[in-house]
Amino acid sequence: MILHTDLETLPREELEALQLKRLQRTVERCYHTVKFYRDAMDELGVTPNHIKTLQDVRHLPYTKKEHLRENYPFGLFAVPNEQVVRVHASSGTTGKPTVVGYTKRDINTWAQLVARCLSAAGLRPGDRLHNAYGYGLFTGGLGLHYGGEELGVMTTPMSGGQTQKQIMLLQDFAPTAISCTPSYALNLAEAAEEMGVDIRKLPLKIGVHGAEPWTEEMRYEIESRLGIDAVDIYGLSEVMGPGVGNECIEAKNGLHIWEDHFLVECVDVDTGKPLPYGEEGEIVFTSLTKEAFPIIRYRTRDISVLDPAPCKCGRTHVRMRRITGRSDDMLIIRGVNVFPSQVESILMQSETLSPFYQIEVYREGNLDHMVVNVEGSPPLMEQPEETQQRVAQKLVRDIKDFIGVSCNVNIKGVGDIPRSEGKAVRVIDHRKK
Ligand code: DLL
């Protein structure tokens, strides 16, 4: 059974007409209610009347994370604070967090879009969702929670952490689906194995994973260790939270962006110039229906490719390929650009390793140096030191051959890499200290 709304399968012409109407309304509102947008548009000499076609979005100024910080906490809200019923904030490693707000209607829209995601992932009313995204200022927990309830699934607000208790509830509540970061899914798989529980024998059948970059190899690992279909969910707090796009379980090949609510562009990271479909660049969103915190041309720093090819699920919304990484997570090692996900792909192909890794970067003199720490599988760790060294040397060669960068690889013992309970820390860059 395919369960999607008419809006997900609208013919492109009708979808684009709807987008244009909503874009015009959004720009008009932003111009008249948010000083930041009015000033930015005035500076470029653009008024809401300039938006006659969807392409005209390109005349509008970009919004960046620093603009949110400069207007901390509520300066970009487009409604009086009395109409805001929820705020979320993203932590950020330095300084003040970035704050976003929702009206009652925004909360409803959000719930409907996350319900749409869950439905695309294969959940149906009557399913049971174990929600292990963190509850709190982070949008993951409450976002998935409201979406689960909206779809009509029994939703357990488990949040992150208490890993052994999670395994107990996975057995006792018999959920058919789990939502958590991909790294936490593997953490759970490992904990279950240690407790002697075979997750693959439980009723669990679908995983809805996102909030951090992951690879096809990681998908394979999660699917085989948990015995589920693992589906990608995407979103960011500045644009709404989880639920901006989702993979369909039919194709599992890129995330349908819910284009009736978000206008998506892909632009050159350095120049900001819009790129045609099929080219890799930075993903940019304009919200089309948000009330409290509308956003115009938000530079996500997420790197991907937009693919307009028809999908076998019948949805007409464009697909965004799996995120390669964030432009600010890209490591430049002696002039070579390296995304942690590229390293992950290589590590995950080796059956003698565990899927727990961390990359460290140092500067020695004038040279950057990358060290990959990865756990060996329990059987590898029982082998003599030379066998482990051979595995490490092969990884060094593969990383050099496929990514073009020389590095050191340390095979670590089981449990030596910190386990994630939410977003995994993949890189420790000692150059930034
Ligand atoms: O991570 C929202 C979310 C919660 C998405 C739960 C999916 C599931 P932020 O904390 O604001 O919001 O972080 C947003 O996380 O710009 C991406 O860099 C990254 N990200 C989110 N989803 C994916 C994904 C939530 N599926 C930032 N693949 C985004 C890769 C992702 N990266």
Q: What is the DSSP string of 111-141?
A: HHHHHHHHHHTT--TT-EEEE-SPPSSSHHH
Q: Both 324 and 344 in a single domain?
A: no
Please identify, among 328, 351, 384, the residue that sits at the C-terminal boundary of a domain.
328
DSSP string spanning 323-362?
A: --EEGGG-EEETTEEE-HHHHHHHHHT-TTEEEEEEEEEE
Q: How far apart are CA 159 and CA 347, in angstroms?
A: 29
Q: What CATH number corresponds to the domain at position 358?
A: 3.30.300.30
Residues 273 and 298 grouped into a single domain: yes
> How many Å from the N-terminal Cα to the C-terminal Cα in the chain?
53
Q: Is the dihedral of CA 213, 218, 222, 225 positive or negative?
A: negative
Query: Which residue's alpha carbon is at the smallest distance from atom 12 of ligand 1?
Result: 236
Same domain? For 313 and 345 the reply is no
SS3 172: helix
Nearest alpha carbon, ligand 1 atom 15:
211
Is-contact 280 337, C-beta < 8 A? no
Shared domain check, 144 and 252: yes
Q: Are 209 and 424 in contact (CB under 8 A)?
A: no
Residues 276 and 339 in one domain: no
Pocket test for ligand 1, best of 142, 181, 233, 234 (most atoms within 8 A of CB): 234
Residue 58 belongs to what domain range?
A: 1-328
Whether 138 contacts 184, CB under 8 Å: no
Phi then psi for residue 59, to 5 deg, are -80, -15
**Looking at 274, 297, 328, which one is the last position of a domain?**
328
Same domain, 254 and 399: no
Q: Do the beta carbons of residue 295 and residue 287 sit within 8 Å?
A: yes
Measured distance CA(217)–CA(212) in Å, rounded: 15
Q: Are residues 302 and 262 in the same domain?
A: yes
Closest residue (by CA) to atom 16 of ligand 1?
A: 236
Protein residues with CB under 6 Å of any ligand 1 atom? 90, 133, 138-140, 143, 210-213, 232-237, 241-242, 300, 302, 323, 326
Same domain, 360 and 214: no
Domain end (from 283, 301, 328): 328
Residue of 323, 421, 427 best suited for mutating to test ligand 1, as the one with most atoms within 8 Å of CB: 323
Output the CA 211–ligand 1 centroid distance in Å: 3
Does residue 81 sit in the same domain as residue 220?
A: yes
Domains in the chain, number: 2
**What is the distance in A from the centroid of ligand 1 to the CA of 244?**
10
Neighbours of 238 (CB within 10 A): 25
pLDDT tens by residue, the chain, 433 residues: 346 789 999 999 999 999 999 999 999 999 999 999 999 999 999 999 999 999 999 999 999 999 999 999 999 999 999 999 999 998 766 678 999 999 999 999 999 999 999 999 999 999 999 999 999 999 999 999 999 999 999 999 999 999 999 999 999 999 999 999 999 999 999 999 999 999 999 999 999 999 999 999 999 999 999 999 999 999 999 999 999 999 999 999 999 999 999 999 999 999 999 999 999 999 999 999 999 999 999 999 999 999 999 999 999 999 999 999 999 889 999 999 999 999 999 999 999 999 999 999 999 888 999 999 999 999 999 999 999 999 999 999 999 999 999 999 999 999 999 999 999 999 999 988 6
